[in-house]
Amino acid sequence: MLPKHHRLRHRRDFSTVYQNGVRRNSLTLGLRAYSHRRNDLAPLPSRIGFSISQKVSKRAVIRNRIKRQLRAITRQLLPHFESGWDIIIVVYPHAVQCDYAEFLQQLKQLLTQAEILHGD
């Protein structure tokens, strides 16, 4: 699990990211990101949410496996995130054929394109 302060949990937060955020897409993953940084205050932690519909797979076992893999990847990359971002990772139907390494590579690429992931 991600630490509680790094989870995007409320519907209004998801709506804000979908309406105002930047979009980056690959064949199997989509990224929506919205910066909520404030210059005058201490940096806020980045928060991450996941969106995976039944269009990906009717079987909850498969959807949950994909979410577990993506959570593990984001937990691994979290120290390299810029602070103050709300991020939603959207899973597309082609993701059923992907493994952990492919998810890691695609997510790194999307985060780099959105300028959320800073150097190693």
Residue 118 lies in a domain: no
Locate 108 and state its tokens. 């790194």
pLDDT of 44 higher than 90 = no
Q: What is the pTM of this model?
A: 0.91
What CA–CA distance (Å, rounded) separates 71 from 68?
Answer: 5
Residue 120 lies in a domain: no
Residue 61 lies in a domain: yes
Closest CA to 113 of 19, 10, 4, 31: 31
Residue with structure tokens 């079987």? 59
Locate 45 and state its tokens. 């932690």
Per-residue pLDDT band for 48 (boundaries 50, 70, 90) equals very high
- For the chain, how many structural domains are there in total? 1
pLDDT of residue 2: 87
Residue 119 lies in a domain: no
- Domain residue limits at 105: 4-113
The length of the chain, given as a count of residues: 120
What CA–CA distance (Å, rounded) separates 35 from 21?
Answer: 8
pLDDT of 17 higher than 70 = yes
Residue 19 lies in a domain: yes
Can you give the CATH number for the domain in which 70 is found? Answer: 3.30.230.10
